[in-house]
């Protein structure tokens, strides 16, 4: 397939708007991605024509939405190549997925003095979710360090593993530095010690082919809104052998075994419903399937290829700007560039770029421990998607030069 960037951009209505009287240049895709018209249309279509709560009614609308919801589960299954569709749990997003899993694992499997290994690159979602466990006492976290390029020192992993290690929970791609971690290798090492692995795929699924069976990860989580789907929907994938034995952590409608509820005791539903208490974001799930189908239509390999060229171009151009410091120079990177212009505060750079219509993120990117490791209090982050263009990178570079003229 030829990558027709003009046609692709036309699929995303927001990309043709102006901000501050300049064409919008949206480089904040790590925070959230824009939505193609098909996804917007799908949401409107459901609310206009089919809306009804799922799994509860015998009437036409409820049957329709229930079927569409379960078909969406199958779409996710095929997108990440899960063995069974019941290994796909719908959640509110990556944060929701990690918290759900942490709550469930810490009921019985992880005990208060056990350990979970994370990395220095983790998003707060994969740090704090463990710290809120056990009434706030938290799970003991052991941290895999990085080198100055922002790559994991994977050779240190065996040293961190002890008989108390109950889980390794690592991001596949760093949202701040763009580092692509060798998760397959980590999973292989972990399994030699019989330790399960959770992969935070929030910044990975939209950039590269994810095959959970090939990775052999025990759990995989991601957010819909970072892969062109609506907010408030996400995925917790878990191997059947794990999800089957883990207890639910939220009780309510739809997760109970029909006929079993009494004031004394209740039995739970089979997978995946055991983990989906109450009314789920079924509209979000159905629209997420539309987004995944849209991505499949373009081809994740084509996306990866194009983004690789875009990253190379951006890296080359930004590296040639004097006074610009790039944070994160891993050999294997996704389409993210974090930088500072000498001593100019990231917030000032972001504000000036915004006046030029350029949306970048500034701050710690929910990775405060990583900021401490880098000895900075934030960066400017340009995170690209397959609808960004080489010309937009040129405009970003001119914007950076403009910032420099205002400060130096």
At residue 143, φ and ψ (nearest 5 deg) are -120, 120
E strand or H helix at 383? strand 379-383
217 catalytic, yes or no?
A: no
Footprint of ligand PMP on 97-126 (CB under 6 A): 123, 125
Instruction: Identify the three-state secondary structure at position 173.
Output: strand
Judged by CB under 6 A, the stretch of 200-208, 235-243, 302-310, 312-320 that binds ligand PMP is 200-208
Non-local (6+) Cβ contacts of 327 within 8 A are 150, 176, 177, 338, 339, 340, 374, 376, 379
Question: What does DSSP say about strands 234-238 and 88-91: parallel, antiparallel, or unpaired?
Answer: antiparallel
At CA 182, angle to CA 180 and CA 184, rounded to 5? 130
How remote is the C-alpha of 95 from its chain's centroid?
A: 9
Q: Is the sign of the CA dihedral 78, 84, 85, 90 positive or negative?
A: negative
Residue 2, CB-side half-sphere exposure with 13 Å CA sphere: 3
Give the residue, chosen from 11, 115, 151, 200, that forms a contact with ligand PMP under the rule CB under 6 A: 200
- Residue 102: CB atoms within 10 A of its CB come to 25
- The least CB distance from residue 1 to ligand PMP, in Å, is 28
Of residues 198 and 356, the one with the C-beta less far from ligand PMP: 198
Among 39, 82, 146, 202, binds ligand PMP (CB under 6 A): 202
Q: Where in 359-398 is the site for ligand PMP (CB under 6 A)?
A: 366
* Residue appearing with tokens 């719908």: 90
- How far apart (Å, rounded) are the C-alpha atoms in residues 250 and 203? 27
The interface region with ligand PMP, picked from 20-28, 34-42, 92-100, 109-117 by CB under 6 A, is: 92-100
- Closest by CA to 324, choosing from 210, 389, 400, is 400
Kindly state the helix (H) or strand (E) to which residue 358 belongs, with its residue range.
strand 358-359
- With b meaning 16 or more CB within 10 Å and e meaning fewer, what string describes 234-252? bbbbbbeebbeebebbeee
What CA–CA distance (Å, rounded) separates 46 from 64? 10
CB of 99 to ligand PMP, least distance (A): 9
Map residues 324-363 to x or -, x wherever contact with ligand PMP holds by CB under 6 A. Answer: ----------------------------------------
Select the residue interacting with ligand PMP from 75, 77, 100, 223 (CB under 6 A): 223
- Closest contact distance (angstroms) between CB of 71 and ligand PMP is 23
The stretch among 48-56, 60-68, 199-207, 307-315 that binds ligand PMP (CB under 6 A) is 199-207
How many residues are present in the chain? 408
**Least gap, CB of 200 to ligand PMP (angstroms):** 5
Binding part of the chain for ligand PMP, among 57-65, 79-87, 93-101, 306-314 by CB under 6 A, reads 93-101
Q: Which stretch binds ligand PMP (CB under 6 A): 87-95, 149-157, 268-276, 348-356?
A: 87-95
Which residues ranging from 241 to 300 are in contact with ligand PMP (CB under 6 A)?
none
DSSP annotation of 134: G
Check residue 238 for interaction with ligand PMP (CB under 6 A): no
Other beta carbons within 10 Å of 337: 27
Contact 17/24 with Cβ under 8 angstroms? yes
230 versus 399: smaller Cβ distance to ligand PMP: 230
Residue 151 in contact with ligand PMP, rule: CB under 6 A: no
Nearer to ligand PMP, 227 or 318 (CB): 227
Residue closer to ligand PMP (CB basis): 46 or 177: 177
User: In the 8-state DSSP scheme, what is residue 136?
Assistant: G
Whether the CA torsion 349, 350, 355, 358 is positive or negative: it is positive
Q: Which of 249, 335, 366, 397 is catalytic?
A: 366
* Number of residues engaging ligand PMP in binding (CB under 6 A): 12
Of 105 and 324, CB closest to ligand PMP = 105
Which span (57-65, 195-203, 264-272, 381-389) binds ligand PMP, by CB under 6 A?
195-203
Least separation in angstroms between CB 268 and ligand PMP: 25
User: Is residue 175 involved in binding ligand PMP (CB under 6 A)?
Assistant: yes
Strand partners, 313: none
Closest approach, Cβ 384 to ligand PMP, in A, equals 14
Write down the residue that tokens 């944060």 correspond to.
95
Least distance (Å) between residue 184 CB and ligand PMP:
18
**Which residues bind to ligand PMP, rule: CB under 6 A?**
93-95, 123, 125, 171, 175, 200, 202-203, 223, 366
Catalytic residues: 366
């Amino acid at each position: 397939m030829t990558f027709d960037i003009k046609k692709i951009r036309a699929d995303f209505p927001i990309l043709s708007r102006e901000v501050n009287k300049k064409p919008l240049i949206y480089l904040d895709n790590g925070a959230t991605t824009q939505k193609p018209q098909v996804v917007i249309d799908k949401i409107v279509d459901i609310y206009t024509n089919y809306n009804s709560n799922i799994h509860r009614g015998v009437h036409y609308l409820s049957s329709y939405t229930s079927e569409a919801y379960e078909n969406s589960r199958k779409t996710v299954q095929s997108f990440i190549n899960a063995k069974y569709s019941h290994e796909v749990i719908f959640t509110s997003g990556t944060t929701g997925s990690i918290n759900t899993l942490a709550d469930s694992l810490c009921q019985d499997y992880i005990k208060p003095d056990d350990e979970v290994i994370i990395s220095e690159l983790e998003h707060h979602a994969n740090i704090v979710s463990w710290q809120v466990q056990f009434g706030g006492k938290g799970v003991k976290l052991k941290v895999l360090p990085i080198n100055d390029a922002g790559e994991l020192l994977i050779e240190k992993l065996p040293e961190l593993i002890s008989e108390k290690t109950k889980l390794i929970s690592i991001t596949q791609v760093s949202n701040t530095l763009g580092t692509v971690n060798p998760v397959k290798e980590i999973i292989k090492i972990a399994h030699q010690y019989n330790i399960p692995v959770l992969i935070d795929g929030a910044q990975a699924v939209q950039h590269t082919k994810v095959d959970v069976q090939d990775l052999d990860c025990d759990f995989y989580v991601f957010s819909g809104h970072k892969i062109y789907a609506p907010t408030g929907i996400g995925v917790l994938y878990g191997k059947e052998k794990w999800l089957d034995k883990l207890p639910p952590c939220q009780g309510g409608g739809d997760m109970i075994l029909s006929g079993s509820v009494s004031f004394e005791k209740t039995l739970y539903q089979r997978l995946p419903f055991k983990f989906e208490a109450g009314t789920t974001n079924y509209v979000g799930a159905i629209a997420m399937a539309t987004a995944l189908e849209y991505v499949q239509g373009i081809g994740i390999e084509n996306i990866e290829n194009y983004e690789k060229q875009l990253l190379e171009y951006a890296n080359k151009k930004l590296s040639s700007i004097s006074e610009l410091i790039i944070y994160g120079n891993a050999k294997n990177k996704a389409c993210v560039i974090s930088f500072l212009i000498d001593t100019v505060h990231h917030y000032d750079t972001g504000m000036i770029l915004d006046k030029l219509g350029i949306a970048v993120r500034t701050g710690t990117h929910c990775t405060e421990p990583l900021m401490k490791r880098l000895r900075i209090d934030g960066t400017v982050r340009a995170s690209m998607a397959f609808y960004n263009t080489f010309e937009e990178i040129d405009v970003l570079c001119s914007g950076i030069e403009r910032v420099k003229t205002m400060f130096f």
